[in-house]
Structure 1
Amino acid sequence: MTIKDASPDQKWLLHVDGSSTAQGSGAGIVITTPQGEDLEFAIKFGFKASNNEEYEALVIGMRMAHETGAKHLLAYSDS
């Protein structure tokens, strides 16, 4: 997926939040385009719950934002 109307100098936003329970771990990712469109994703991880969920979500979110066309990205996490 590529957002065609985005200028390379416009800022994109990335919000990530990890989650872990006895049933497994995962994360939510929201990428906001410069036009204000939210791209929302949920990820289930294949590893036991640890403190790595948000780090993994950040790395995945950065890759997804890059593939979508983001050049300037502001990332937010509560960890």
Structure 2
Amino acid sequence: MSRSRKRMPGSTWCCCKSQKKGKQASNRKFRRTAHVLLHQGKTHLLPLKSFEIMSPWDLGGDGKHFCGFHPEEEWFVKLMRK
């Protein structure tokens, strides 16, 4: 795995490396809401997507951006590592 690299040079804006915690919280909230609505018999109110329950803007990062290809730059080599 020492040569393992990302395919696309992209990264998240802001302070976090991953949005994993936010995605986990969003999915828990989605599943809990669906469970409660099913038991209440309100199937017409069931959410179809997780962003109907929690906004994607509430996740850790502020989205992703494309950096371009700069294989000779040090920051690019560091970014492309997994």
TM-score normalised to structure 1 length:
0.33
Select the structure that is richer in strand.
Answer: 1
TM-score when scaled to structure 2?
0.32
Structure ranking higher on relative contact order (CA contacts 8 Å, 6+ apart): 2
| More helix as a share of residues | 2
Work out which of the two has the higher radius of gyration on C-alpha atoms and give 1 or 2. 2
